[in-house]
């Protein structure tokens, strides 16, 4: 896959103008003719025929992830299940890459079998979560 250092994947969630921004990485790769954008720290992905379509799909899926977990009041529980640490003062810390690699079989398969590029992106989490 051609490397493009300017590739952007973004997802912004704003709720009553309160938000937390975390820098996470998104992996872009091809699988069976489809382009995939995958964020292992949130286990959210999007796909499309082109990288641009995959990024747009990822943005929609990211918004749906937050919308669903916030409405169900399960966001904190879901993030903790994904390996995040959340302190009482609502400080969110994503799991380190090495932890994700050890616990996420899908991520290991991507690393072992796919040409990919890693893009670091700011991802916004509602602060009331």
Residue 61 pLDDT more than 70?
A: yes
Question: Cα–chain-centroid distance for residue 47?
Answer: 13
Relative to beta strand 116-126, strand 85-86 is unpaired
What pLDDT digit, counting tens, does each position of 106-115 carry? 999 999 999 9
Tell me how far apart the alpha carbons of residues 95 and 118 are, in angstroms, rounded to a whole number: 16
The DSSP line for 82-108 is TT-EE-TT--EEPPPHHHHHHH-HHHH
pTM score above 0.95 = no
Residues 64, 98: Cα–Cα separation, whole Å: 27
At CA 67, angle to CA 63 and CA 124, rounded to 5? 50
> pLDDT tens for residues 74-108?
988 999 999 988 877 667 788 888 899 999 999 99
């Amino acid at each position: 896959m051609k490397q493009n250092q300017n590739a952007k994947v973004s997802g912004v969630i704003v709720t009553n103008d309160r938000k937390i921004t975390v820098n996470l990485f998104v992996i872009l790769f091809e699988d069976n003719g489809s382009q995939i954008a995958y964020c292992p720290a949130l286990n959210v992905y999007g796909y499309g025929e082109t990288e641009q379509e995959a990024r747009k799909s990822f943005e929609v899926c990211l918004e749906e992830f937050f919308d669903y977990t916030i409405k169900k009041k399960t966001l904190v529980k879901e993030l903790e299940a994904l390996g995040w640490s959340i302190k009482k003062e609502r400080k969110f810390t994503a799991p380190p890459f090495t932890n994700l690699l050890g616990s996420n079989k899908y991520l290991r398969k991507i690393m072992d079998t796919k040409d990919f590029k890693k893009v670091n992106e700011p991802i916004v989490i509602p602060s009331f979560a």
